[in-house]
């Protein structure tokens, strides 16, 4: 297709976004290469969502007939490793299958020499188009004493040979909450230190409050509005010094779990040589997943936007398709594929879970939309009474005034990650609150909350 060594080179193709980009570009007929310096599988498989869910499921199953942590933990750790090895093996098999169909795999770190030429482990290679999909790294704060005291990341915590007896979690996002609840259920004393005034600070206040209640009910200590000052290691453990409400406080535990988010992994790529712009630590991309350089694209965590796998896969599809078109001479006007991420379900896998799809209330307000909102508490539904104790949680849903087109929904519930998808499907089809309200949901079930909230919204829309 092009006069270069490859039509498309994917940098970091072992993860979900990169592998999808490579696969999509190949499907478009391009000669594709993939440069990967790490293990095939990416964050989700190796050290993210899959191992963490394995741990969460294992400890949840133990609640019915609890066993001592020292008896339970070796089996939980072995099961987690087994799942990672199985899934990583499947990714290796998938890559090998693509090699049989022409994919060129290069082991080593790729670095731009100019906009079309790269160095991969000492070898020069040219490509008509490039997709950057190098993922992300742990965000480490400049906190005095943290490096000297040492700390755990999600990856090292999930691989720890012995579970810490006590744990300080720095952060209040998804990974922080999931692993905090897991550690507490495994018997560890857990303290969460959150900089913001509430957990999941980017979500509606009621969401963070609901999860905070659930975690506190299980014995997790949660301190919000903290300003970290320093860390010291001593005979009693590792102590984090901080201020809260103007007062000096401290917390001590056997280990510190750093969970303050992740940052795009862009180090060593030589982006300056290619002329690629970096904005606020991430690759700036347009709706075609194109960077500041017309033939260089990006997908996944390097874009710094909603670091979740389902978005990385979608970005990979768009980037791979457009990269192949670019290598073939460039898409004709109007032919570049643009990403449609209007419907992007996401979840936090605590118990209860939190899930959202579409725009939050704050995002609707920021966009100046004329919208309405309705809600429902799970505990007020009849089905909640059929459980041993009332089920905590709620749903809020937003729709455009007048037409009633659904704009988004928040859900806190035991299986929110499953229950949110009917709203996602309705949004994808540009459905209205009345469309959902008219579905005869199974009775009694927790999913009826969607039907009830949609009915309230539909009545508001209809006046």
Question: Mean pLDDT, 10 residues at a time, over the chain (463 residues)?
Answer: 88 93 96 93 90 92 83 93 94 95 95 97 96 96 96 96 96 97 96 96 95 97 97 96 95 97 95 96 96 96 92 96 91 82 94 96 95 96 90 96 94 97 97 97 96 96 79
Q: What is the pLDDT of residue 9?
A: 98
Scan for tokens 């259920």, then name that residue: 185
- What letter would DSSP give residue 378? G
What domains can you pick out in the chain, each with its CATH number? Answer: 6-138+263-327 (3.50.50.60), 146-260 (3.50.50.60), 346-461 (3.30.390.30)
Does the bond joining 352 to the residue before it have cis omega, within 30 degrees of 0?
yes
Question: Angle 51-52-54 (CA atoms, 0-180°, nearest 5)?
Answer: 65
Q: What is the pLDDT of residue 333?
A: 61
Tokens matching residue 284: 């700036």
Q: Which helix (H) or strand (E) holds 78?
A: helix 69-100
Q: Crossing angle, helix 174-185 and helix 205-217, to 10 degrees?
A: 10
Question: Is 10 in contact with 133 (CB distance < 8 Å)?
Answer: yes
Categorise residue 346: left if φ over 0, alpha if ψ from -120 to 50, beta otherwise: beta
Q: How many CB atoms lie within 10 A of CB 212?
A: 20
Question: How many angstroms separate the CA atoms of 365 and 369, rounded?
Answer: 6
Q: What is the pLDDT of residue 405?
A: 96
Backbone CA torsion sign across 236, 237, 238, 242: negative
Scan for tokens 């379900």, then name that residue: 345
Pairing of strands 346-348, 353-358: antiparallel
Question: How many angstroms separate the CA atoms of 37 and 354, rounded?
Answer: 35
Q: Which helix (H) or strand (E) holds 256?
A: strand 255-258
Tokens matching residue 66: 């609890």
- Whole-model pTM? 0.94
Q: What is the pLDDT of residue 1?
A: 56
Question: How many angstroms separate the CA atoms of 354 and 211, rounded?
Answer: 8
Question: How many angstroms separate the CA atoms of 128 and 29, rounded?
Answer: 14
Question: Is 397 in contact with 453 (CB distance < 8 Å)?
Answer: yes
């Amino acid at each position: 297709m092009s006069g270069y060594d490859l039509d498309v080179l994917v940098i970091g193709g072992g993860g979900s976004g990169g592998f999808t980009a490579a696969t999509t570009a190949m499907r478009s007929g391009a000669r594709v290469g993939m440069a990967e310096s790490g293990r095939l599988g990416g964050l989700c498989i190796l050290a993210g969502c899959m191992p963490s869910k394995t741990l969460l499921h294992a400890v949840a199953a133990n609640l019915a007939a609890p066993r001592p942590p020292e008896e339970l933990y070796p089996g939980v750790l072995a099961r987690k490793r087994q799942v990672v090895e199985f899934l990583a093996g499947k990714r290796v098999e998938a890559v090998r299958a693509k090699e049989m169909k022409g994919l060129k795999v290069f082991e080593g770190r790729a670095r731009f020499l100019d906009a079309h030429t790269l160095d991969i482990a000492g070898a020069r290679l040219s490509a008509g188009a490039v997709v950057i999909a190098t993922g992300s790294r742990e965000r480490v704060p400049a906190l005095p004493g943290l490096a000297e005291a040492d700390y755990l990341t999600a990856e090292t915590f999930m691989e720890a040979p012995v579970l810490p007896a006590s744990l300080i979690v720095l952060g209040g996002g998804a990974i922080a909450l999931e692993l905090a609840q897991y550690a507490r259920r495994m018997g560890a004393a857990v303290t969460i230190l959150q900089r913001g005034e509430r957990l999941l600070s980017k979500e509606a206040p009621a969401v963070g409050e609901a999860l905070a209640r659930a975690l506190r009910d299980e014995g997790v200590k949660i301190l919000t509005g903290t300003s970290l000052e320093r860390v010291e290691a001593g005979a009693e453990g590792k102590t984090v010094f901080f201020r809260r409400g103007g007062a000096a406080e401290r917390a001590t535990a056997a280990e510190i779990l750093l969970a303050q988010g992740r940052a795009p992994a862009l180090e060593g790529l030589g982006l300056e040589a290619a002329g690629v712009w970096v904005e606020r630590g991430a690759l700036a991309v347009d709706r075609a997943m194109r960077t500041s350089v017309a033939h260089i694209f990006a997908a996944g965590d390097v874009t710094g936007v909603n670091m979740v796998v389902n978005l990385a896969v979608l970005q990979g599809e768009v980037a791979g398709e457009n990269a192949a078109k670019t290598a073939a001479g460039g898409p004709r006007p109007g032919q570049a594929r643009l990403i449609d991420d209007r419907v992007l379900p996401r979840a936090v896998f605590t118990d209860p879970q939190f899930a959202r799809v579409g725009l939050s209330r704050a995002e609707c307000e920021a966009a100046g939309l004329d919208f309405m909102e309705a809600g429902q508490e799970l505990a007020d539904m009849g089905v909640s009474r059929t459980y041993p104790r009332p089920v905590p949680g709620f749903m809020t849903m937003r729709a455009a005034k007048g037409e009633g087109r659904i704009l988004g929904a928040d859900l806190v519930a035991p299986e929110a990650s499953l229950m949110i998808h009917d709203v996602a499907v309705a949004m994808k089809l540009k459905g209205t609150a009345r469309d959902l309200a008219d579905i005869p949901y199974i009775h009694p079930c927790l999913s009826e909350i969607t039907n009830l909230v949609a009915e309230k919204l539909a009545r508001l829309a209809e006046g």
